[in-house]
């Protein structure tokens, strides 16, 4: 079963790279992008030959997918650096704020979701209004206003910036506000989603059974939390594409040299190899993360194991 899951993941990733290649090849002329608008037809043809663009598309497709699957993503046209190096350099700063932000949002949303589902009343109403308001604010608004209020006005955090190598200032101060805002952006929809999950789980007959046997509320909630592992992890794995990229807006406003900033710069410079590389690597990270979530559900929830052992 696990071999099958891995094969599906690899096939999906190959499909991603083929899709990206075909779309880019159909819509963009690499030679024209490299040489600029005023290039002569002869120069364009020579450039195409140099890049190997005059070979049949099927050959190039297979070559591209094969090299992408071994993570050879080519070189950045503007910087002359391998794309993999750029990605590795940018992944650190993104994870430094995106991962804490994601964990914070998930934990707060889970706790608030349980609270709202258990006390259907004022708490539930207030949390619903808060989450709806948070959802209505576009991430741009949250980031711009958050930076203004918390950094400019209150002066609790540095306004922007990122310590480069050799900078004595601690990283923590620069990470806190981006992580907080990133958590705030995700909190609204997550809260509602988890509330819906826990309302459903708490209404399940076995919860009544646990209570009838005299189990304390605290332990009932713990059981419910474990029972809800599958839908919660499904939500996490649906969130993964956003987690691995972080927020382009946060990185832009706070000047963080992460993946989002890399992407925005590559789009501005028309650096196709980097854009393709970002798309492919983030898809790879997402697909790997989804496989891990499946594994975690398999380990946490015995219900998913039973039919597999009996049937397949």
Partner 1 sequence: MRQVEGWRRPLGLAGVVALAGLGVFAVLALGAALGLWAAGFEGAVAREHLSPGPGAWLGTDALGRDLLARTIQGARVSLAVGGGAALGLVAIGGVLGAFAGLRGGWIDRLLAGLCDALAAIPPVVTLLGAALLLRPGLATAIAAIALTQWHGVFRSVRAEAQRMRSADHDRAARAMGAGTWHRIRWHLLPRLRPLLVTSLVLCFVYAVKVEAVLAYFGASAQTLPSWGRLLAETGSELARGIWWPTAAASVPLALLVLCAQVLADRLGEGEPRG
Binding of partner 1 at residue 310 (CB under 8 A)? no
Shortest reach from residue 28's CB to partner 1, in Å: 5
Stretch that binds partner 1, among 16-24, 58-66, 176-184, 222-230 (CB under 8 A): 16-24
Q: Is 274 exposed, middle or buried (0-12, 13-18, 19+ CB in 10 A)?
A: buried
Shortest reach from residue 117's CB to partner 1, in Å: 14
Question: According to CB under 8 A, which residues from 121 to 140 bind partner 1?
Answer: 132-133, 135-140
Binding of partner 1 at residue 263 (CB under 8 A)? yes
Stretch that binds partner 1, among 59-67, 104-112, 249-257, 297-305 (CB under 8 A): 249-257
Among 179, 183, 253, 293, the residue binding partner 1 under the rule CB under 8 A is 253
Stretch that binds partner 1, among 34-42, 206-214, 243-251, 298-306 (CB under 8 A): 243-251
Binding mask 169-208 for partner 1 (x = CB under 8 A): ---------------------------x------------
Buried b / exposed e over 113-143, threshold 16 CB at 10 Å, is bbebbbeeeeebeebeeebeebeeeebeebb
Q: Whole-angstrom Cα distance, residue 75 to residue 73?
A: 7
Shortest reach from residue 159's CB to partner 1, in Å: 8
Among 74, 82, 163, 241, the residue binding partner 1 under the rule CB under 8 A is 241
Q: Whole-angstrom Cα distance, residue 155 to residue 52?
A: 54
**Which residue is associated with the tokens 């364009």?**
44
Shortest reach from residue 154's CB to partner 1, in Å: 12
Instruction: Supply angle C-alpha 169, 171, 176, rounded to 5.
Output: 125
Contacts for 113 with CB less than 8 Å, ≥ 6 apart: 190, 191, 193, 194, 195, 197, 198
82-to-79, 130, 194, 222, 245 alpha-carbon distances in Å: 9, 45, 41, 48, 19
Among 152, 169, 219, 305, the residue binding partner 1 under the rule CB under 8 A is 152
Q: Whole-angstrom Cα distance, residue 17 to residue 24?
A: 11
Among 22, 43, 145, 203, the residue binding partner 1 under the rule CB under 8 A is 145
- Structure-token pair, residue 298: 């398999």
Q: Whole-angstrom Cα distance, residue 281 to residue 2?
A: 22
The smaller minimum CB distance to partner 1, of residues 11 and 103, is found at 11
Among 11, 51, 103, 222, the residue binding partner 1 under the rule CB under 8 A is 11
Shortest reach from residue 215's CB to partner 1, in Å: 28
Buried b / exposed e over 239-264, threshold 16 CB at 10 Å, is bbebbbbbbbbbbbbbebbbbbbbbe
- Structure-token pair, residue 106: 């998930």
Among 115, 220, 270, 296, the residue binding partner 1 under the rule CB under 8 A is 270
Shortest reach from residue 79's CB to partner 1, in Å: 17
Question: According to CB under 8 A, which residues from 277 to 296 bind partner 1?
Answer: 278-279, 282-283, 286-287, 290
Contact indicator for 182, 101 with CB cutoff of 8 Å: yes
- Give residues in contact with partner 1 (CB under 8 A): 11-13, 15-16, 19-20, 23-24, 27-28, 132-133, 135-141, 144-145, 147-148, 152, 159, 196, 241-242, 244-245, 248-249, 252-253, 260, 263-264, 267, 270, 272, 275, 278-279, 282-283, 286-287, 290
């Amino acid at each position: 079963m696990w071999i099958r899951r891995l094969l599906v993941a690899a096939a999906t990733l190959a499909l991603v790279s083929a899709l990206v290649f075909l779309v880019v090849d159909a819509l963009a002329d690499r030679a024209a992008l490299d040489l600029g608008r005023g290039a002569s037809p002869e120069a364009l043809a020579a450039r195409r030959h140099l890049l190997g663009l005059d070979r049949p598309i099927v050959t190039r497709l297979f070559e591209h997918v094969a090299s992408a699957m071994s993570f050879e993503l080519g070189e950045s046209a503007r910087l002359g650096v391998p794309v993999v190096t750029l990605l590795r350099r940018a992944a650190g700063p993104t994870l430094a704020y995106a991962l804490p932000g994601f964990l914070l949002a998930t934990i707060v949303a889970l706790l608030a979701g349980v609270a709202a589902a258990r006390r259907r009343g004022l708490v539930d109403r207030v949390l619903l209004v808060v989450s709806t308001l948070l959802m209505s604010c576009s991430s741009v608004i949250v980031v711009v206003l958050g930076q203004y209020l918390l950094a400019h006005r209150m002066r609790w955090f540095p306004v922007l910036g990122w310590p480069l190598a050799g900078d004595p200032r601690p990283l923590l101060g620069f990470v806190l506000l981006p992580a907080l805002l990133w958590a705030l952006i995700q909190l609204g929809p997550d809260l509602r989603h988890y509330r819906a999950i826990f309302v459903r789980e708490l209404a399940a007959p076995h919860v009544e059974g646990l209570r009838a046997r005299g189990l304390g509320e605290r332990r009932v909630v713990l059981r419910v939390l474990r029972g809800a592992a599958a839908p919660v992890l499904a939500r996490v794995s649906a969130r993964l594409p956003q987690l691995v990229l972080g927020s382009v807006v946060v990185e832009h406003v706070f000047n963080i040299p992460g993946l989002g900033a890399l992407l925005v710069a590559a789009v501005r410079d028309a650096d196709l190899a980097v854009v393709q590389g970002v798309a492919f690597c983030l898809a790879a990270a997402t697909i790997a993360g989804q496989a891990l979530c499946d594994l975690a559900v398999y380990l946490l929830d015995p219900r998913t194991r039973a039919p597999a052992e009996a049937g397949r």
